Structure 1
Amino acid sequence: MGIRSGRVRRALLAALVTGAVVVPVSAAAHPAVPAPAPAHLGPVTAATLGTAYRKNRATAARAAETAAAHGDRHRARALRGMASTGREFLTFDARGAGRAAEVFGDLTHADRIAVLVPGSDTSIDTYDRFRAGARALHDRLGDRAAVVAWLGYETPGTVSAAVATTGRAEDAAPELVRFIGKLRDIAPGSTVSLLCHSYGSVVCGRAAPRFRGAARVCDLVLIGSPGTGADSAAGLGTPATVWAGRGGDDWIADVPHVRTDLFGLFDSALGFGADPVSRSFGAHVFAAGDGGHSDYFRPGSPSLANLARIALGRYADVTEVSHG
């Protein structure tokens, strides 16, 4: 009876993980919209960065024309915005759900670079809400810092089994590590802070051990995180300082912090384990205010103020939360 009840409990917890993560947010659909292949850039350095930006804007413009011809007016409108003068993409690929890395600020002269890693339902079609957070952060940082909005992986749908497993994160982690290496080539004197939102914190958790000796990642910031797959900050295996924050009205607080294989029905375990804002996890917990899951980069919010301080290395000014 005890074994059976334990199995039932694990199954129930797994269902709760899935149910809690599946909030009433419409899943973004990614229809098969034709798009040109990405521009051939070769190695991008400080000297060739401007050329990369121009080529990626041109690719976005061609992709917009293709989407319009295909009858997808929403995708075409999004791509036209990305092709507009002044947009600076280090990488760009409009195929499928789309991938992009947009730069805010002078990357070649930045002392500090903040890289934002998004969570579920982030694509070319929903990109503007992700971009808005990156812009708000850059507005707080000043001229000696740059921000990169890294949509470098196929994010899971909010309403999907993938959002409760590590599969997409495991695929994304090496891409993120390679991207950080590119930043090192372009701005070798800079230090990098990773700001990882929601499922993006699972991506960063999977990538964290690979940054040792590979790039100067000084901060790993877990924002509205369901967990990382690690039992503790030390278990992430990174020399970076690990931070975590959660808003008072963030539904992610209701996600059970468990991991279960649900009798082997999925390729990856369901759930992501320990709560990053718990005392036992061991991260530096910063005050994130009373906002919800999408409010961490809201202008004027306590969370944005603290994220900017972390990204600038002004650690003494960060408002930390005591566990009591």
Structure 2
Amino acid sequence: MRTLHRRTAAVTALAAVTTTAAAPGRAEPYAAPGSLPVLSGAYSLAARFDAVARDILRAHSDAARAQDRDRLKALSGFLAPGRRFLSFDARGHGRAVEAVGDLARADRVAVVVPGADGLLTNFDSWKWAGGGARSLHRQAAAAAPGTRLAVVAWLGYDSPSTRSPAVLTDGRAADGARELTRFVGELHRVNGRAEVALLCHSYGSVVCGKAAPRLARQRLPVDEVALYGSPGVAAASAAALCCAGLASGARIWAGRSSGDWTRFVPKVRIAGIGLGHDPAAPSFGALRFDAGSGPHSAYLRPGSRSLRNLTSIALGRDPGAHDTEATHARNA
């Protein structure tokens, strides 16, 4: 009981610290995206890529008019030859979903689901969705030449700021779960034979946990889920997440680096505040992978142990770390 009181006090204090006054309203300088071609098969991909490229080009012009230098720089990178986006929205902090590799011919697709503070302006950093997805794709090419893996950088929801109270609740995650489920359904229509791995970082693990029942109802082919740097998930155990949500054959992995600050976040949910259970705890029952010793945003850093192990999971392989006491001690 004393432990519960301490956790309740910690959550309450954290909520108080992160609550800030609403920012004054300002006119939105970016237009809504246009309607997109429906993804109904491999041949629809080219039309989708072209339509989204037009939205990005229009947002680039909007950024120039608004003298939004950071956004202008980011969008110039998005327009580089060879880049292919499945969706994009410049409004607010922005959303973007990028395909790295050949989605239509892939045997496996890994979807990188980022956590809080995801923006268009940091999308291409290896710490975030786009740069991290490319790091993963390069690592897979080096580790398993000839393997047909496509990676998707999925900033497909309104990622909360770590300085806002939204990060303490699952409201954004609920919206994200609906969007993620819809997206995985689109992937399945494009490539019906590919198995899907969800790589869910930080608040993205909350999104994936909430998406699980929806994915199950639609019988979508998710066979690997990695929850890393997680602040908590709604499911009380890996078995509950797997069997009540994802396909019964799905493997649930969890990892936390020794330098990750989320180990100090109370894993509780009280009066709507807090995110739930710790998937990296021994009691949760997930398969464990060695996430190394880096900080919270370094799981996809090139050359890192965590990147190597997450790449193995993306490929449907065992990263070699099991649920042992030694692994728990390293990642606690």
Give the TM-score taking structure 2 as reference length: 0.86
Match of 1:221 in 2: 226
From the superposition, tell whether residues 79 and 323 of structure 1 become closer, same or farther in structure 2 (CA, over 3 Å). Answer: same
1:46-195 matched pairs, under 5 angstroms: 46-129=42-125, 130=128, 131-142=130-141, 143-195=147-199
Match of 1:275 in 2: 278
Give how far 1:7 is off. 9.2
Match of 1:230 in 2: 235
Q: Distance in 1 between matches of 2:134 and 2:167?
A: 26
Taking only aligned residues, the RMSD between alpha carbons, in angstroms, comes to: 2.4
2:29 is the counterpart of 1:34: yes
Kept in 2: contact 1:191–1:216 (CA 8 A): yes
Match of 2:297 in 1: 294
User: How many percent identity over aligned positions?
Assistant: 47
2:10 is the counterpart of 1:13: yes
Q: What one-letter code is carried by the residue in structure 2 that aligns with 1:253? A: R
Task: Identify unmatched segments of 5+ residues in structure 2.
Answer: 19-23, 142-146, 327-332
Q: What one-letter code is carried by the residue in structure 1 that aligns with 2:285? A: G
Task: Identify unmatched segments of 5+ residues in structure 1.
Answer: 23-28, 262-268
From the superposition, tell whether residues 30 and 285 of structure 1 become closer, same or farther in structure 2 (CA, over 3 Å). Answer: farther
Match of 1:254 in 2: 264
From the superposition, tell whether residues 31 and 144 of structure 1 become closer, same or farther in structure 2 (CA, over 3 Å). Answer: farther
Q: Size of the alignment, in residue pairs?
A: 307
Kept in 2: contact 1:174–1:207 (CA 8 A): yes
Q: What one-letter code is carried by the residue in structure 2 that aligns with 1:46? A: A
Give how far 1:199 is off. 0.3
Give how far 1:305 is off. 0.8
What is the SS of the residue equivalent to 1:212? helix
Q: Distance in 1 between matches of 2:304 and 2:101?
A: 22
Kept in 2: contact 1:114–1:146 (CA 8 A): yes
Kept in 1: contact 2:200–2:228 (CA 8 A): yes
Give how far 1:8 is off. 6.0
What is the SS of the residue equivalent to 1:290? coil
Q: Distance in 2 between matches of 1:323 and 1:187?
A: 40
Q: What one-letter code is carried by the residue in structure 2 that aligns with 1:34? A: P
Q: What one-letter code is carried by the residue in structure 2 that aligns with 1:83? A: L
Kept in 1: contact 2:7–2:266 (CA 8 A): no
Q: Distance in 2 between matches of 1:30 and 1:111?
A: 46
**Partner residue of 1:304 out of 303, 307, 318:** 307
From the superposition, tell whether residues 137 and 18 of structure 1 become closer, same or farther in structure 2 (CA, over 3 Å). Answer: farther
Give the TM-score taking structure 1 as reference length: 0.88
1:174-196 deviation digits (Å, cap 9, x = unpaired)? 11100000000111110000000
**Partner residue of 1:244 out of 236, 246, 254:** 254
1:148-180 deviation digits (Å, cap 9, x = unpaired)? 000110011111111011111111111110000
Give how far 1:30 is off. 11
Kept in 1: contact 2:37–2:47 (CA 8 A): no
